[in-house]
Homo-oligomer: A and B are copies of this chain.
């Protein structure tokens, strides 16, 4: 089926040595234009594709990068992976993907298994402990995404600033008391979001009550909504959009109007956020951009450029609040100017 056409076949047809064929591809400027032409022609005619296994055996480079994600079913990660894969292809890297199924042990195991066939691996929202992380990082070049450890290269979404934007937005609308529905306690993102929230709360004179922790999904949002309402807040900031969607659903079910009775803000800006009614105000995470940044960081590291820039291994990439229809000034009276901004709203009654 797959008839292996090797460098030797090409060499024979072009009547040159194998080294010339090899060089025609990897160091074209070293071989005379006319012969190079002849070689390339022969290669094309034969359908030659270099065997990367053989190449990597001698060069030590594989031109592959590994990617580990906790759960592909979480819409956040495919988006990151998409960014990674696009940027990787630009630098002629292919990507190896592994799903750790949220299992910290499996996570480390997968990285070890990959190690030999990749030049480095990007670990998204690493769940494993610091000890494992340290060990793994000693055997393979790593880039962390949304996780910080020692001074391992990392790209970190500036989610704390996203919190600031959310609070500032709510404060500007006139809110003075809001709830934060906390996510998984071990999550770096959750810590950052909470930290940012506290800082901003003080700065803008908003009182924040922290509830939870909750699981970062729709059902937890249903549960959390009641608790938030009982806390008598005018606005709810959920750990992520899935939770926020749950909150929206439950509030609606209880006959409370969003944003008239209570404002809701999420994190992530998943596709659904703009499709739901009312559309969700949320902090957009730069998923694709971060994926790209992670690849760049890894490529730099592999090229030895990592240490050049004074140990500046951790890049922060900005987040942005997307204001939609789920936030408004507090209190029942609905000003007309707000009606105009939620044309899809069902709250006409």
List residues of A whose CB falls within 8 A of some B CB.
1-2, 47, 49-54, 56-57, 62, 64, 67, 72-73, 75, 77-79, 81-82, 85-86, 89, 94-99, 101, 112-117, 138-141, 218, 245-246, 249, 252-253, 271-272, 275-277, 343-344, 346, 349
Contact = CB atoms under 8 A, between A and B. Distances in A.
A31 to B, nearest CB: 23
A346 B349 CA distance: 12
Nearest to A140: B2
This chain's copy number in the assembly: 2
A225 to B, nearest CB: 12
Given A1-B141, A117-B52, A96 B94 contact: yes
Contacts of A67: 97
B99 A96 contact: no
A94 B113 contact: yes
A280 B230 CA distance: 30
A85 B57 contact: no
B115 A49 contact: yes
A2 B115 contact: yes
A56 B51 CA distance: 10
B346 A253 contact: yes
A98 B101 CA distance: 20
A151 to B, nearest CB: 15
Contact of A73 (B62, B79, B99, B113): B79
A98 B64 CA distance: 12
Instruction: Give the top 9 A-B pairs by smallest Cβ distance, nearest first.
Output: A97-B97, A78-B78, A53-B53, A72-B78, A72-B82, A53-B56, A218-B275, A53-B57, A85-B99
A94 B112 contact: no
